[in-house]
Amino acid sequence: MINIILKKPLNPIVIGKIGKAYGILGWIKIFSFSENKEKIFSYFPWFIFKQQKWEMIQIDKWKKHNNNFIIHIKNIIDRSMISKFTNLEIFIEKNTLPILKKDEYYWNDIIDCKVFNTRKTYLGKVINLIRNQNSDVLIIQNHLEKNNLKKIMIPFVHKKIVQCINITHKIITVIWN
């Protein structure tokens, strides 16, 4: 078996964000973007992009803390060392994620999809998704005029509003005016 240590991710995706330092012993808060929050600890190695270069970080301990987590990074011994990580995004290599079944996709696959209504009118491009109590919401940005950006929020209700998602061609069809 060959061990390959990645210096940087080849196909990075964001899976979380680092928050503020916690305590004086080098712990820091993190926010998981995975649907099951604790799943973030199933995807390693983690990478950060700091001062224009990639760095792999190794977690030696983690704990659930309130609704999120705190972590301790190997070789970090105090608050001043860990404070330099505040507000950095946590990346993983995309191939670390489980392979999906047909017609399944990850949220990051939907970003940058072009959205058309059923009359083939271009509505814009997906720039984000947000989780709502009732349903997820597509955030779509459209350039109506030269300097006029318009954001459209469309509930992500499969088959009722979102008719078709073609990840290969990056196209989503919706029932929307």
**Mean pLDDT within 8-35:** 93
* pLDDT value at 135 more than 70: yes
Q: What is the helix, strand, coil percentage profile of the chain, to 5?
A: 10, 50, 40
How confident is residue 146, by pLDDT bands cut at 50, 70 and 90? low
pTM of the model: 0.76
Q: What is the pLDDT of residue 1?
A: 47
One of 2.40.30.60, 2.40.260.10, 3.40.190.150, 3.40.50.10480 is the CATH number of 12-96, namely 2.40.30.60
CATH entry 3.40.50.300 includes domain 107-174: no
Cβ-Cβ contacts under 8 Å for 29 (sequence gap 6 or more): 18, 19, 20, 21, 22, 65, 68, 69, 70
pLDDT digits (tens, 9 = 90+) for 147-166: 667 889 999 998 899 999 99
How is the chain split into domains, by residue range?
A: 12-96, 107-174
Pair 175, 118: CB distance under 8 Å: yes
C-alpha distance from residue 132 to each of 34, 46, 115, 143, 156 (Å): 15, 27, 20, 25, 10
* pLDDT value at 126 more than 70: yes
Would you call 124 exposed, middle or buried from its count of C-beta atoms within 10 A (0-12, 13-18, 19+)? buried
* pLDDT value at 170 more than 70: yes
* pLDDT value at 6 more than 80: no
